[in-house]
Amino acid sequence: REPSYDEIEAIGFPFTVSGDGGVRLDSSVALKYIPVLAGIPRSSAAQLAKLDIFKACMLILNFFTRSETEEDSESGSTTPHTSGE
């Protein structure tokens, strides 16, 4: 499942953005999401294979970085789009 607003507020974003716009995984944050989003104890998450941990972290990162063409909250927004001008 995707993280909720409250979970994002409590745990943070699992990435940093560099000056050139590159996205870098923050594994210390992403790892905290695994047991929360999977609904498993932290001790079970700690027993996952390294490759599975990596794949889970990439899925978590995708919740935050997927393109605008995919489903997002804009379709239900009551705030009008603006041009920024």
C-alpha 17/C-alpha 40 separation (Å) is 29
pLDDT at residue 8, rounded to an integer = 96
Amino acid at residue number 17: V
pLDDT at residue 66, rounded to an integer = 85
> CA dihedral in degrees (55, 57, 63, 69; nearest 10)?
-50
pLDDT at residue 44, rounded to an integer = 97
C-alpha 3/C-alpha 61 separation (Å) is 11
> Which tops the pLDDT comparison, 14 or 66?
14
* Structure-block tokens of residue 20: 């050139």
| Structure confidence by residue, pLDDT tens digits, 18-70 | 999 899 999 999 999 999 999 999 999 999 999 999 999 999 999 998 865 55
Residue 83 confidence (pLDDT) above 80:
no
Give this prediction's pTM.
0.73
